[in-house]
Chain A
Amino acid sequence: MPKNKKKIGAYWASSCGGCDVALLGLHEKILDLLDFADIAFWPAATDFKYEDLKGYGKNELDLTFFNGGIRTTENEEIAELLREKSELLVAYGTCAHQGGIPGLANMSEEVDLFDTVYKGTPTSTNPENIFPQESTKKDGQTLNLPGLQERVRSLDRVVDVDYTVPGCPPPPDLTEDFLDLLVKGALPEKGSVVAGTKSVCDECSREWNRETIDELVRPQETEIDPDKCLLDQGIICMGPVTRSGCDGSCPEANMPCKGCFGPPPEVEDQGTEMLNSLASVLQLGEEGQALEQEKELLSDLPDPIGTFYTFSLSNSILGGKVSEGGENDRT
């Protein structure tokens, strides 16, 4: 074992597992990584227990890739523990960065979530209405499960994050680039999102004309012109409000950008920015001649939160479902 070999950790919180697969997606590059570092903690791939993690000293791990959002008390506890044990903590993938798709659950109350997951789905059979409990006593033993928190939060809302590698999941070359920078000791300023600094439009090769948009259509409802800007074709593409760095892979594959890289540097709320941009340019015919029709079209837009806040609801200004009456948290 060479001297000064680094120790690397990886962890999954509230996520689908795709980010762990994305790490393996480095293929032979992962061998280069192993020349440079040992894996010191990676529950998805190797047999480590939390006790092992607790045994490490402060900052003993040189770097930890943390994927997934913070959904449970366990997620939060381990995030704090990993923060303590890691020199550099990397929010890896959209869920750690923006809350991701699990963040859409912020539109629902816990009771409704449980009802859907453990009873409501077509594959659920639960005649006795058994739902997970944080604490269950049986035969004199107590079994504890982590509690669900009120909201899904991105990692940086819970602990300090040093770097973010965005994407759902992060494309392999982005992870490689990050590792190259790490190996060379050339990482940018702390707090950086290690991707592009503009929007997906910067990388998208489609041609735009910015004339009127005649209608809004879903990709499956139309034959998409492979050369024209999707927005010009009336397809909601999140490219304009999504950070670059993916080489425009979705629009290049004839599908609209869904926004997985999160907002560009100066945008606070990706979804709000997009709805604002879309409304600004959604013009049916000559400007001012079809106001009522435009209003109707926009007011009937199906599933606006799912459309505009697919990955970023947790980090949006409103953060999720709010209730009237002034008792919502303003942080």
Chain B
Amino acid sequence: MEFEPKLVGFLCKWCSSAGADLAGVSRKSYPPNLVPITVNCSGRIDVNHIVRALKDGADGVLVSGCHPGDCHYTSGNYKTWRRVALLKHVLEDFGMNPDRVRLEWVSATEGEKFARTVEEFTDEIKELGPGPFSNAKE
């Protein structure tokens, strides 16, 4: 059976979840591997949540928020930007492929971009294979 990665997606409510909704409305299909969690702001996402997800068996984690300058709360996405940047550096030192964590800005009008992002991310993780703590069936 082909490796089907388990992916968790943290989407901010105002931009990225709305972008995912638009992907739905415009029927832009993408793989079902990523299960979304909508949060108020990408700034609500803490490095611990991402590491927790990876440790619990996720093969990849997507964090998606508003484009720089467009954050509904003005600056939450900048915090996320830095948190993810440092996390990737640390994950690499831990021996994990930092590409398992992806940060992407998706606005409410970018349904196509959301669909493409999930598709690309799923393909990329399939290519990388199961994560260090993967519980995906192979």
- Interface of A toward B, CB cutoff 8 Å: 107, 268-269, 271-273, 275-276, 278-280, 282-283, 287-288, 291, 294-295, 298-301, 304-305, 308, 317-318, 320-328, 330
A330 to B88, CA, bound (A): 20
- On whether A295 and B85 interact (CB within 8 A), knowing A288-B68, A321-B95, A330-B56, the answer reads yes
Number of interface residues of B (CB under 8 A): 38
- The residue that B47 contacts in the complex, of A276, A294, A301, A328, with Cβ under 8 A, is A276
Contact between chains at A322 and B132 (CB < 8 Å): yes
Question: Taking each of B69, B94, B128, B131, which has the highest tally of chain A beta carbons within 10 Å of its own beta carbon?
Answer: B94
B86, CB-defined interface residue at 8 Å: yes
A327 to B83, CA, bound (A): 27
A91 to B80, CA, bound (A): 37
Known: A321-B95, A330-B56. 15 other contacts (CB 8 A): A272-B51, A275-B90, A278-B86, A279-B86, A280-B82, A287-B78, A288-B69, A288-B75, A301-B89, A322-B94, A324-B129, A326-B133, A327-B132, A328-B132, A328-B133
B134, CB-defined interface residue at 8 Å: yes
A283 to B47, CA, bound (A): 17
- On whether A318 and B55 interact (CB within 8 A), knowing A276-B83, A287-B78, the answer reads yes
Min CB gap B4→A, angstroms: 13
Min CB gap B117→A, angstroms: 19
Residue of B nearest to A271 (CB): B90
Produce 1/0 per residue, B47-85, CB < 8 A to A: 110011011110000000000110000010011011101
Min CB gap A274→B, angstroms: 10
Min CB gap B137→A, angstroms: 11
Determine the chain A residues whose CB is within 8 A of the CB of B52 once the complex forms.
317
